Amino acid sequence: MSTELTFATVQDPDGATVLSAAGEIDMSNAAEFSAALDGALAEAGDAPVVVDLTKVDYIDSAGLAVVFPHIDRVRLVASEVLAPVLTVVGLDDVMTVRA
């Protein structure tokens, strides 16, 4: 059974592609997260993609593994709940993470 997770991809006023996720990201839906991120990256062309995780309550290692291959093109926006997790795993050392 897959954990509930929803996505929306929009353009922000500056023209950047923003992938917003809501719910929980874990091994049951990491493939969906990966597909949504791949779609946003394709839509953005060579430009970076903002991944808005402010409505994500939980992310496990499977979800984090989706982000790592794209550290050069993804900018994360995290909630106060997720920001410490992203710091502990070192994502803030290799990519832009905003709280």
* pLDDT digits 0-9 by tens, 40-81: 999 999 999 999 999 999 999 999 999 999 999 999 999 888
Say if pTM beats, i.e. exceeds, 0.85: yes
Q: How far, in Å, CA of 99 to CA of 87, rounded?
A: 11
* pLDDT digits 0-9 by tens, 25-38: 999 999 999 999 99
Query: Where do the structural domains in the chain lie, given as residue ranges?
Result: 5-98
**Overall fold of domain 5-98:** Transcription Regulator spoIIAA (3.30.750)
Is 47 exposed, middle or buried, given 0-12, 13-18 or 19+ CB atoms closer than 10 A?
Answer: exposed
